Amino acid sequence: MPKTGAQVIIECLEREGVEVIFGYPGGVLLPLFDELYDSKIRVILPRHEQAGAHAADGYARSTGKVGVCIATSGPGATNLVTGIATAHMDSIPMVAITGQVPTSMLGGDSFQEADIYGITIPITKYNYLVKDHADLPHVFREAFHLARTGRPGPVLIDLPKDMSTNIVNDTDFSRELDLPTYKPTVKGSLGQIKILAKAIAEASQPVIYAGGGIISSDASKELAKLAKITNIPVTTTLMGLGGFDENNDLSLGMLGMHGTRYANYAVTDCDLLIALGARFDDRVTGKLSTFAVNAKIVHVDIDPAEISKRVGVTIPIVGDLKNVLTELNKHVKPRKKDAWNKKIDAWKKEFPLSYKQTKTGKIEPGYVIEKIYEATKGEAIITTEVGQNQMWAAQFYKYKSPRTFLSSGGLGTMGYGFPAAIGAQLAHPDRIVFDIAGDGSIQMNIQELATAVQYKLPIKIAILNNTFLGMVRQWQQLFFKQRYSSVCLQSNPDFVKIAEAYGAHGIKVTKPSEVEPAIKKALQIKGPVILDFHINREANVWPMVPAGGAISEMLGEDDV
């Protein structure tokens, strides 16, 4: 039967298993939203398109499925850009659908026309401008395939209005995928894997450095098995948190600029560094000329472009981590704990992550995170904003399983955490979801309280309120002689009243003795809750590697 393009699009989405879309309507999208009205797909209305993109991202990170967001032409589409770039930097599978002016009006500076295809080329894995409604089935099939396979990433589909209204007489859903230049290597070279197994047997001070690829490839069980067989210590990146149980005695926690001292010392002293699904980000390596200089570098990644991009690699292996580690575990020999493990255990005892409880009665942010961890027994999904709140959440909550820590790592997007929590809560209605926020970043997308209230999402928002843009202030304190330029937020709103105005709950916490009861009370409330923790104003994130420094040269609170 003949169908409208909008009907074909809905069928495409249903065939891809899409259950939830985060969409904001507009004129050129009206035919599509009219069809969504009667579809089985649940449409969630954000209050800002950027938040819709972040919500789709959070849905994807917490499930492993492709997140989907929709926005209208012009400003609707451009408001998605930050969310698309966030997903691109962190390799998150997402399909962004944008409305566009009719094909006959393209290039004429029509009302709400923007070249979103051209704008997003650098921040998507691939993108499409559909000009023939007969192409709709294979465009959507290709887009979802590209988003979820190989190194995941966002794909954009720009839909001129007539692509939704035109009649499609012969819809061909049977057309085979034909992507001759897109053939991700997933198996990994057996020869290289055996060379790696031999290198592990010969190493005396090995370290595993695991990134977000462990989570996107669903390889955390294989990593745990490798660590158990070989007793090799494991450190993770910010994106890799949850990929290895931090309660495991082989865990080194996070490495890098605000990583643990023992992780950074171990990487500096190791003679074999096994990088798994990581990209040697500058926040991890610090000064490149001092990074793991005594080590053979192994790099396993599905994206060949990442191999030796920043750090020279001795043993490169291109392939999907789950497949590579499954094969590697067949070839590695058991290794007992030795002097290297004892040395690292000694570092752990000497340099634990800690904070100083002041005698002034101020709330320390690390204490808040620890109490959230205890109250949720480490089973919550944690999202974060960006800045000090992000680093404290990474340091003081112990992540036990993958897809429980959602944060903007590569782009560092303030305003990410709350809408990402919305996506995660919709995907996991029975899970506890906490957004760890700063008082600056929460105001980037605070309007999404309306979304959380409308859809009855019991998200808990812990604002670490220091009336500063905290991370920028920390840098100004340490490196700019405490000249606090444009970072003071002393005109913050009353967050409790803000919550109540939207129909949510708000709890103000000003004393350490109030922290634990407030968290327990919030968890008993069924709807969204803002916990406004008034923390020590000048609390800093420690340890810290100064920009351009070696990761072994960390500053602590006593060094300042």
Kindly list the catalytic residues.
49, 111-112, 161, 471
- Which residue type is seen at 21? I
Please check whether residue 60 is in contact with residue 20, taking contact to mean a CB–CB distance below 8 angstroms: no
DSSP string, 297-325: EEEEES-GGGTTSSS--SEEEES-HHHHH
For CA atoms 111, 117, 120, 126, the dihedral sign is positive
- Which residues are paired to 21 by β-bridges? 43
CA angle (496, 498, 504) in 5-degree steps: 75
**Where would I find the beta strands (DSSP E) of 123-233?**
126-129, 154-160, 167-168, 206-210
Which tokens hold the place of 157? 């589909």
Surface-to-core class of residue 145, CB atoms within 10 Å of its CB (0-12 exposed, 13-18 middle, 19+ buried): middle
What does the alpha-carbon distance between residue 431 and residue 195 come to, in Å, rounded to a whole number? Answer: 42
Surface-to-core class of residue 243, CB atoms within 10 Å of its CB (0-12 exposed, 13-18 middle, 19+ buried): buried
Please check whether residue 57 is in contact with residue 94, taking contact to mean a CB–CB distance below 8 angstroms: yes
What does the alpha-carbon distance between residue 530 and residue 376 come to, in Å, rounded to a whole number? Answer: 16
